[in-house]
């Protein structure tokens, strides 16, 4: 960017824009070019706030409804973790606890931290912050575990009238949290972390 | 009136897409080894690597390029295997159970279908996309890319496929689904006897194949082989001009 060169986000080719043009297309792969992902900070904040709002009903509302001869019971995500806890099943319980509760909240906090430090023009810990971004990017998909658990549990346990399990509204909000945080990660441009370290560069954030 | 319209539309229709939308291409640099790090934008020159070696960004430690040995052939073999396993995994039952003399089983599609009928439909779509559609696109795109890149002059459509392949990889979550199914199995084991289906083992193998494809594929090699978008555009424009001259 300092050199006035565009780096293609898809194929990595460096190219020089035509004079007078803001951004053209990549001559090799036809991708629309920009110095930075467009409106990266605003879009990441938007997805992140939406995810944080959905996070509340995702944890309060039940994700599964179990109907047995004795009656109907609903479980939230946390209750699901507690139910799994047993002398033999505790490692799985821990997996679900990590994937469904720790990862989404850690993701929201980590992205908020990255956004705030970029906004404040922090020049410190660039390497740690980009590493944090990569961890968030890598680990985010694993939050979907709970969605799959609930879907296949519900699809299998259909032993009417003895016992049946159905998905409940909390699942919708939980899935929304996972998708929204993944979109937030996608729209964040890690190159912004380094921009304030080189003040001569034009700020496109 | 209608004649007037026909006259103005005529030359435009004969023209290329470039003239209609005024596509502006950047100019490429003379030095193809010069790149900017995708994570920190540091400008650097990629060294010529030996097969298996990798180059990392000195500032942010991002792996910029890992040269793979015999990338195209290995990727093709793994992708073909993955395509076969994918078809099997989606046609045979994945998990089943028996309880009080009753049996039930489901496929991957069955799980999504049940949710579509009984739960939030959007989540059913999400499950369908992440567990069925995205993996299919991931395997299909890769197969087309590798087969296309195998030719002496890779066809034009290889570029767009390669451009969109990372998105299919992001949303394809077979390995996450596997973990989810295992947790569900153990949960259900409290109430009923569970029967792991054939698809469960096939999916397990598929997870490793997909990781293998990711590890054997060399994007940079294919990018260097494809026809440039700007070259195709120029040729299309030249073709239009000669067509106009002929007419």
The ipTM, to two decimals, is 0.84
**Residue in B38, B184, B188 nearest the CB of A12:** B38
Contact B243, B13 (CB under 8 A): no
Q: Comparing A188 with A201, which gets the higher pLDDT?
A: A188
Domains and CATH numbers, chain B: 70-227 (1.20.140)
Q: How much is the pLDDT for A198? A: 63
Quote the minimal CA–CA distance from B4 to chain A in Å. 34
From first to last of its 247 residues, what are the pLDDT tens digits of chain B?
333 333 333 334 444 444 445 677 887 777 778 888 888 888 888 888 888 888 898 888 888 888 888 888 999 999 999 999 999 999 988 888 887 777 778 888 888 888 888 878 889 999 999 999 999 999 999 999 999 888 888 888 888 888 889 899 999 999 999 999 988 888 888 778 888 889 999 999 999 999 999 888 988 888 888 877 777 777 777 766 666 666 5
Which of these ranges, A24-28, A171-175, B6-10, B109-113, has the smallest mean pLDDT?
B6-10
| Stretch (H or E) spanning B126 | helix B121-128
* Residue tagged 């949303």 (tokens): B171
User: Each residue of A34-77: pLDDT tens digit?
Assistant: 888 888 899 999 999 999 999 999 999 988 888 887 778 888 88
Which residue ranges make up each domain of chain A? 1-35, 37-195
Contact A25, B220 (CB under 8 A): no
* Residue tagged 């390029």 (tokens): B65
What one-character-per-residue DSSP string does B64-107 give? EEEPPTTHHHHHHHHHHHHHHHHHHHTTS--EEEEETTEEEEE-
Q: How much is the pLDDT for A136? A: 93
A window 91-130, beta carbon within 8 A of B: 92, 95-96, 99, 126-127, 130
| Whether CATH 1.20.140 fits A37-195 | yes
- The set of residues, in sequence order, having a beta carbon less than 8 Å from that of A105 and lying 6+ positions away, is A55
Inter-chain residue contact A182 with B122, CB threshold 8 Å: no
Name every chain A residue with its beta carbon within 8 A of the beta carbon of B105. Answer: 156
Quote the minimal CA–CA distance from A187 to chain B in Å. 13
How far apart CA B139 and CA B144 sit, in angstroms, is 9
Contact B178, B204 (CB under 8 A): yes
Q: Beta-carbon neighbour count of residue A38 at 10 Å? A: 13
- Residue B45's SS3 state is strand
Q: How much is the pLDDT for A191? A: 87
- The answer to whether A26 contacts chain B (CB < 8 Å) is yes
Quote the minimal CA–CA distance from B244 to chain A in Å. 26
- SS3 for A155-179 is HHCEECCCEEEEECCHHHHHHHHHH
Q: How much is the pLDDT for B185? A: 86
Q: How far is CA A128 from CA A2, A103, A123, A134, in A?
A: 23, 18, 11, 10
Inter-chain residue contact A30 with B177, CB threshold 8 Å: no
Name every chain A residue with its beta carbon within 8 A of the beta carbon of B42. Answer: 194
pLDDT at A156 over 90: no
Instruction: Give me B114's structure tokens.
Output: 């049940």
Q: What is the pTM of this model?
A: 0.84
Q: How much is the pLDDT for A105? A: 92
- The set of residues, in sequence order, having a beta carbon less than 8 Å from that of B185 and lying 6+ positions away, is B95, B194, B196
Inter-chain residue contact A156 with B97, CB threshold 8 Å: yes
Name every chain A residue with its beta carbon within 8 A of the beta carbon of B39. Answer: 130, 133-134, 190-191
């Amino acid at each position: 960017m300092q050199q006035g060169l565009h780096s293609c986000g898809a194929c990595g080719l460096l190219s020089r824009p035509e004079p007078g043009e803001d951004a053209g297309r990549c001559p090799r792969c036809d991708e629309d070019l920009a110095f930075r992902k467009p409106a990266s900070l605003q879009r990441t904040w938007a997805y992140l706030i939406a995810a944080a709002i959905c996070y509340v009903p995702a944890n309060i509302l039940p994700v599964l409804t179990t109907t047995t001869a004795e009656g109907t019971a609903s479980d939230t995500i946390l209750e699901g973790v507690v139910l799994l806890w047993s002398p033999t099943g505790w490692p799985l319980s821990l997996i679900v606890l990590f994937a469904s509760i720790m990862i989404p909240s850690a993701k929201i906090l980590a992205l908020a931290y990255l956004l705030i430090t970029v906004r404040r023009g922090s020049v410190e810990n660039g390497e740690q912050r980009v590493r944090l971004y990569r961890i968030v990017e890598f680990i985010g998909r694993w939050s979907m575990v709970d969605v799959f658990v609930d879907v296949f549990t519900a699809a299998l346990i259909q032993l009417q009238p003895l016992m049946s399990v159905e998905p409940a509204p909390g699942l919708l909000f939980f899935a929304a949290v996972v998708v929204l945080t993944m979109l937030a990660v996608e729209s964040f441009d890690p190159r912004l972390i380094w921009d304030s370290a080189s003040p001569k560069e034009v700020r496109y954030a | 009136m209608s004649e007037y319209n026909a006259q103005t539309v005529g030359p435009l229709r004969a023209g290329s897409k470039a003239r209609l939308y005024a596509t502006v291409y950047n100019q490429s640099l003379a030095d193809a080894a010069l790149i900017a790090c995708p994570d920190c934008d540091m400008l650097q020159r990629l060294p010529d690597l030996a097969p298996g070696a990798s180059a990392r960004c000195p500032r942010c430690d991002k792996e910029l390029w890992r040269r793979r040995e015999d990338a195209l052939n290995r990727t093709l073999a793994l992708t073909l295997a993955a395509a076969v396993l994918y078809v099997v995994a989606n046609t045979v039952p994945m998990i089943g159970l028996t309880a009080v003399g009753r049996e039930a089983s489901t496929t991957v599609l069955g799980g999504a279908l049940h949710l579509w009928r009984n739960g939030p439909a959007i989540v059913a779509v999400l499950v369908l996309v992440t567990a069925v559609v995205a993996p299919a696109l991931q395997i299909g795109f890769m197969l087309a890319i590798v087969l296309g890149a195998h030719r002496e002059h890779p066809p034009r459509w290889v570029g767009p496929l390669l451009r969109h392949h990372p998105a299919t990889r992001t949303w394809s979550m077979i390995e996450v689904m596997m973990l989810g199914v295992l947790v569900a199995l153990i949960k259900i084991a409290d109430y009923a006897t569970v029967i792991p289906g054939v698809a469960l083992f096939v999916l397990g193998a598929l997870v490793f194949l997909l990781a293998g494809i990711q590890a054997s594929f060399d994007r940079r090699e294919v990018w260097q082989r494809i026809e440039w978008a700007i070259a195709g555009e120029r040729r299309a424009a030249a073709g239009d001009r000669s067509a106009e001259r002929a007419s």
